[in-house]
Amino acid sequence: DVKVTQSSRYLVKRTGEKVFLECVQDMDHENMFWYRQDPGLGLRLIYFSYDVKMKEKGDIPEGYSVSREKKERFSLILESASTNQTSMYLCASSQYRGDEKLFFGSGTQLSVL
């Protein structure tokens, strides 16, 4: 089974802190994604990557950056956390470009105080 692991289930940070969310997949998938999920708004794509050191902006990239130094690891960075970034963050992967089937991690509930 594909496993997508997110490093933290719950995270509490203060406004202005730099926050790192880590995601690792163990199935040699090419594509990796970061979403945030908010009540009433559904899933919104922040960034995605289809190869090592490649990244593409999603629908809401402002206030975020990403890093993909290794194929299995995709990090989401909040440069200066703000309260409106309080959300559930979900990492996902898919096998290859053109594969629509996403496999998700369990999510990180981030609270910014």
Partner 1 sequence: QKEVEQDPGPLSVPEGAIVSLNCTYSNSAFQYFMWYRQYSRKGPELLMYTYSSGNKEDGRFTAQVDKSSKYISLFIRDSQPSDSATYLCAMSEWGGSYIPTFGRGTSLIVHP
Provide CB contacts within 8 A for 84, sequence distance 6+: none
Verify binding: residue 105, partner 1, rule CB under 8 A.
yes
Nearest to 105 by CA among 14, 12, 22: 22
For partner 1, which stretch binds (CB under 8 A), given 12-20, 62-70, 72-80, 95-103?
A: 95-103
Verify binding: residue 21, partner 1, rule CB under 8 A.
no
Identify the residue whose tokens are 């990244």: 55
The residues binding partner 1 (CB under 8 A) are 4, 31, 33, 40-43, 45, 48, 90, 92, 94, 97-107, 109
